[in-house]
Amino acid sequence: MDAADRISQLPEHLIHRILSFLPTPEVVRLTVLSKPWHQVFTSFPISEFSSSPFSANNSDRSFEFCTFVYNSLLRQCRQYRSIPRFKLSVSADLCRSHRYSVQRPLPPQIDELIIRCIEQVTQKGVKELSICFRTPVYYRLPEAMLSVTELAVCKLAGCLIEGNMNWPSLRVLSLKRVEICGRRIIDNLLFACPFIEELALIECNGIDYLHLSGLRKLKKVKVKGQFFSPIKKIEIDAVSLHTFSYSACFYAKTDIDLTSCKNLEVFKFKYCIITEDLVQHLNCNFPALKVLVLHGYIHDIQRFEISIPLLEKLKLSAPNLSAEEAVINAPRLRSFKCYMENIPPLISLNQTSLQEVSLKLSVDLIYGQHGEGFLEYFRENLENINQIRLVTLLITNNSSTIINKIVRKVSNPVLLRIRNLKLNTYIEGMRKEGLALVDDLFCICRPESLSLESGCGSNDEFMEILCKKLVDRVKHENYSADTQVKCWQRDLKGVKIEHLGRKGYWEAVTGHAFLDSLRTLESEQKIRFVFEW
Amino acid sequence: MSSSTDSPTLTTETTQLSPQPDTETAKPTKKITLKSSDNQIFEVEESVAMEFATVKSFFEDSPSTDTVPLPNVTAKPLSQVIEFCKEQIKFKANPDEAQKKKYNAEFVTEKSDKDLVDMIPVANYLEIKDLLDVLNQAVADRIENKSVEYVRSFFGIDNDFTAEEEAALRREHAWAYEGVDED
Would residue B80 count as lying in a domain?
Answer: yes
Contact B173 A503 (CB under 8 A): no
Query: Quick one: which of A138, A178, A180, A139 has its CA closest to A163?
Result: A180
Condensed to tens digits (0 to 9), the pLDDT of residues A357-392 reads 776 666 555 544 455 566 666 666 666 555 555 555
Give the range of the structural domain holding residue B95, as residue numbers without chain letter.
Answer: 29-143
Would residue A345 count as lying in a domain?
Answer: no
Rounded CA separation A467/A296 (Å): 38
Residue A144 has φ and ψ, to the nearest 5°, of -60, -20
Does B18 or A101 have the greater pLDDT score? A101
Does A341 or A169 have the greater pLDDT score? A169
Out of B74, B152, B178, name the one closest to residue A57 (CB): B178
Classify strands A128-133 and A48-50 as parallel, antiparallel or unpaired.
Answer: unpaired
CA distance A69 to chain B (A): 12
Would residue A173 count as lying in a domain?
Answer: no
Condensed to tens digits (0 to 9), the pLDDT of residues A303-324 reads 788 889 899 999 988 877 766 6
* pLDDT at residue B26 in the model: 47
Taking CA–CA distances from B98, the nearest residue in chain A reads A504
* pLDDT at residue A344 in the model: 56
Contact A33 B180 (CB under 8 A): no
User: How many structural domains is chain B composed of?
Assistant: 1
Rounded CA separation A7/B117 (Å): 7
Rounded CA separation A467/A322 (Å): 39
Rounded CA separation A391/A339 (Å): 12
Average the pLDDT over each of A94-103, A158-167, A501-510 and give the range with the smallest value. A94-103
Model's pTM, two decimal places?
0.74
Would residue A6 count as lying in a domain?
Answer: no
First to last CA, chain A: 54
Would residue B176 count as lying in a domain?
Answer: no
Does A211 or B59 have the greater pLDDT score? A211
* pLDDT at residue A411 in the model: 53
Contact A54 B175 (CB under 8 A): yes
* pLDDT at residue A382 in the model: 62
Taking CA–CA distances from A22, the nearest residue in chain B reads B140
Contact A25 B74 (CB under 8 A): no
* pLDDT at residue A177 in the model: 93
Does A363 or A168 have the greater pLDDT score? A168
Average the pLDDT over each of A115-124, A219-228, B37-46 and give the range with the smallest value. B37-46
CB atoms within 10 A of CB A437: 23
Question: Residues 6 or more apart from B100 whose CB is under 8 A from it?
Answer: B88, B91
Q: Which long-range contacts (CB under 8 A, 24 or more apart) does A377-380 make?
A: A377/A343, A378/A343, A378/A416, A379/A415, A379/A416
Task: Answer yes or no: are the C-beta atoms of A232 and A209 closer than 8 Å.
Answer: yes
Would residue B163 count as lying in a domain?
Answer: no
Question: What is the full DSSP assignment across A403-469?
Answer: HHHHHHH-SSSS-B--SEEEE----TTHHHHHHHHHHHHHHHB--SEEEEETTSTTHHHHHHHHHHH
Rounded CA separation B5/B109 (Å): 10
B chain contacts of residue A18, beta-carbon cutoff 8 Å: 136, 139-140
**Per-residue pLDDT in tens (0 to 9) along chain B, 183 residues:** 343 333 332 222 333 333 344 444 445 567 888 888 888 888 888 888 888 888 888 888 877 777 888 888 889 999 999 999 988 888 888 888 888 888 898 899 888 888 888 899 899 888 898 899 999 999 998 888 888 888 888 888 888 999 999 999 998 888 888 766 555
CA B137 centroid distance within chain: 10
Contact A53 B144 (CB under 8 A): no
Give the range of the structural domain holding residue A531, as residue numbers without chain letter.
Answer: 397-533
Query: Quick one: which of B172, B177, B171, B78 has its CA closest to B131?
Result: B78
Is the pLDDT score of A133 beyond 70?
Answer: yes
Classify strands A526-532 and B31-35 as parallel, antiparallel or unpaired.
Answer: unpaired
Is the pLDDT score of A270 beyond 70?
Answer: yes
Rounded CA separation A260/A242 (Å): 12
Rounded CA separation A209/A201 (Å): 12
Is the pLDDT score of A89 beyond 80?
Answer: yes
Query: Quick one: which of B38, B37, B73 has its CA closest to B54?
Result: B73
Residue A357 has φ and ψ, to the nearest 5°, of -120, 125
Burial of B146 (0-12, 13-18, 19+ CB in 10 A): middle
Condensed to tens digits (0 to 9), the pLDDT of residues A21-73 reads 999 999 999 999 999 889 888 899 999 999 888 876 666 788 889 999 999 99
* pLDDT at residue A61 in the model: 81
C-alpha pair distances (Å), A375 with each of A111, A346, A405, A417, B177: 63, 14, 11, 12, 57
First to last CA, chain B: 15
User: How many structural domains is chain A composed of?
Assistant: 1
CA distance A3 to chain B (A): 8
Would residue B111 count as lying in a domain?
Answer: yes
Would residue B173 count as lying in a domain?
Answer: no
* pLDDT at residue A421 in the model: 79
Would residue A211 count as lying in a domain?
Answer: no
Task: Answer yes or no: are the C-beta atoms of A69 and A47 closer than 8 Å.
Answer: no
Mean pLDDT to the nearest integer, A415-431: 71
CA distance A437 to chain B (A): 26
Q: Radius of gyration of chain A from Cα atoms?
A: 29
Q: Does B118 touch chain A (CB under 8 A)?
A: yes
Contact A21 B160 (CB under 8 A): no
Mean pLDDT to the nearest integer, A422-434: 74
Residue B44's CATH number: 3.30.710.10
Out of A11, A498, A507, name the one closest to residue B2 (CB): A507
